[in-house]
């Protein structure tokens, strides 16, 4: 239900921002290339956020199919399938979240920066161009991953 959906959306987004910053700081120790730091950190931030996101989304899908609470749905899966059952669809979630976060926190600001510097667009217009480009990239690649994940869960 709704509480799990709220936890998933808010929690995953918060983790994406936190982990992206964490990994960008770590990558910065080895590289001064801003694009590498930005893209690498955002990809890894999304990858890390995919672990709890996968369990949260599994819980939501199982609640929709069979009912139950935030606690009883994953408990039922664990009792029937063990720890392995809680991670159904994990690989697809990791792929989806890493590409999505790369797009949101890596590609979008990189395109915005390039548009401002190379074309002289104001920052807001360049942000719109970066966001649209990033969204098309993310949607094209992540949609199949999300569909497969949902079927697995």
Task: Give 78-108 pLDDT, tens digit per residue.
Answer: 999 999 999 999 999 999 999 999 999 999 9
Q: For residue 82, give the DSSP letter.
A: -
Residue 3: predicted pLDDT:
87
* Confidence grade of residue 120 (pLDDT, cut at 50, 70, 90): confident
How far, in Å, CA of 103 to CA of 149, rounded? 19
Average pLDDT estimate for 132-152:
94
Global pTM value: 0.89
Average pLDDT estimate for 109-123:
92
Residue 63: predicted pLDDT:
92
Q: Residue 79 contacts by C-beta under 8 Å, 6 or more apart in sequence?
A: none
Q: What share of the chain is helix, strand, coil (3-state, %, to 5)?
A: 90, 0, 10
How far, in Å, CA of 113 to CA of 146, rounded? 29
- pLDDT over threshold 90, residue 40: yes
Q: Measure the CA dihedral 82/50/15/112, to 10°.
A: 180
Other CB atoms closer than 10 Å to residue 18's CB: what's the count?
Answer: 13
């Amino acid at each position: 239900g709704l509480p799990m959906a709220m936890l998933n959306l808010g929690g995953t987004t918060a983790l994406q921002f936190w982990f992206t910053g964490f990994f960008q700081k770590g990558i910065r120790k080895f590289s001064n290339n801003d694009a590498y730091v930005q893209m690498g950190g955002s990809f890894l931030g999304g990858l890390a956020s995919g672990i709890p996101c996968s369990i949260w989304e599994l819980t939501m899908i199982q609640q929709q199919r069979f009912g139950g609470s935030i606690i009883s749905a994953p408990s039922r899966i664990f009792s029937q399938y063990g720890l392995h059952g809680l991670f159904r669809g994990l690989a697809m979630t990791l792929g989806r979240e890493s590409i999505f976060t790369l797009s949101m926190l890596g590609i979008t600001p990189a395109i915005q920066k390039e548009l401002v510097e190379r074309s002289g667009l104001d920052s807001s217009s360049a942000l719109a161009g970066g966001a649209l480009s990033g969204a098309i990239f993310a949607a094209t690649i992540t949609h199949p991953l999300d569909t497969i994940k949902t079927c697995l869960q």
